[in-house]
């Protein structure tokens, strides 16, 4: 009986050790897979830096067309009854302390943890001709960028993956749905398995070019006339 118990304990210990080894192997594979996200885009940048913490997607910073960008990806699995999304956040760093924050968010569900929209106290009326699904917020309507400056750049939202345009005293940001998790894999294992291992340079270039175009449009307006 004692020998039987010892053998049983050894079998259980071996099974646990095997499960731990499999878990660690899968975690290493997941980290390595996610580390590839920006690899094809490195050629776009000068002075590039990339950092990956834990199992998350890497964060990239670098110079593109003489401007500094900060780019990261956020997994969103908070929304109930929705397949998780991978949101790409592309930020152009440009100091404009005289401007307030203006957030343009499409189809909000009040679970956009990656967006500052819910922390901005003022709801702005959507101008005529703007996307009807847009919701605008600001922390100071009197100092936010004139919406007339933004209007020519709203073609970004013609893409169904376009989620947010953010204008702040520290820079500009676009949020774009880079990928959506495999539905069957998520329903069975409750894990967000994205089919996009490597981001296409053409997509990232387009988003950065859009931010530069908006940045140039803001610069073309005298600072005294930039605010509403």
pLDDT in tens, 7-21: 666 666 666 666 666
Q: What pLDDT, on a 0 to 100 scale, did the predictor assign at position 34? A: 79
Structurally, the chain folds into a number of domains equal to 1
- Is position 140 within any domain? yes
Instruction: Supply the DSSP symbol for 125.
Output: P
Which residue range is the domain that position 214 belongs to?
A: 35-226
Question: Is residue 144 predicted with pLDDT exceeding 90?
Answer: yes
- Is position 221 within any domain? yes
Question: Is residue 213 predicted with pLDDT exceeding 80?
Answer: yes
- Is position 13 within any domain? no
Helices (H), the chain: 2-34, 147-150, 183-189, 201-219, 223-226
- Burial class of residue 193 in the structure, from the number of CB atoms within 10 Å of its CB (0-12 exposed, 13-18 middle, 19+ buried): middle
pTM over 0.85: no
Question: Is residue 118 predicted with pLDDT exceeding 50?
Answer: yes
Q: What pLDDT, on a 0 to 100 scale, did the predictor assign at position 81? A: 54
Strand partners, 61: 49, 70
Strands in the chain per DSSP E: 46-51, 59-64, 67-76, 85-93, 102-106, 122-124, 134-138, 162-168, 171-180
Strand partners, 87: 74, 177
- Is position 27 within any domain? no
- Is position 121 within any domain? yes
């Amino acid at each position: 009986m004692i020998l039987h118990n010892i053998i049983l304990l050894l079998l259980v210990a071996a099974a646990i050790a095997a499960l731990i080894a499999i878990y660690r192997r899968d975690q290493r594979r997941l980290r390595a897979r996610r580390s590839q996200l920006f690899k094809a885009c490195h050629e776009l940048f000068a002075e590039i830096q990339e950092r990956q913490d834990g199992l998350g997607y890497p964060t990239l910073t670098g110079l593109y067309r003489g401007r500094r960008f900060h780019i990261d990806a956020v997994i969103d699995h908070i929304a109930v009854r929705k397949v998780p999304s991978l949101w790409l956040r592309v930020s152009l760093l440009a100091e404009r302390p005289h401007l307030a924050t203006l957030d343009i968010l499409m189809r909000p569900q009040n679970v956009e943890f990656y967006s500052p929209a819910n922390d901005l106290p003022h709801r702005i009326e959507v101008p005529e001709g703007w996307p009807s699904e847009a919701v605008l917020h600001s922390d100071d309507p009197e100092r936010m960028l004139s919406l007339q400056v933004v209007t020519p750049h709203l073609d970004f939202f013609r893409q169904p993956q376009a989620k947010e345009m953010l204008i702040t005293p520290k820079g500009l940001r676009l949020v774009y749905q880079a990928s959506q998790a495999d539905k069957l894999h998520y329903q069975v294992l409750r894990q967000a398995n994205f089919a996009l291992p490597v981001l296409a340079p053409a997509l990232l270039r387009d988003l950065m070019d859009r931010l530069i175009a908006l940045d140039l449009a803001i610069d073309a307006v005298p600072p005294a006339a930039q605010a509403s």
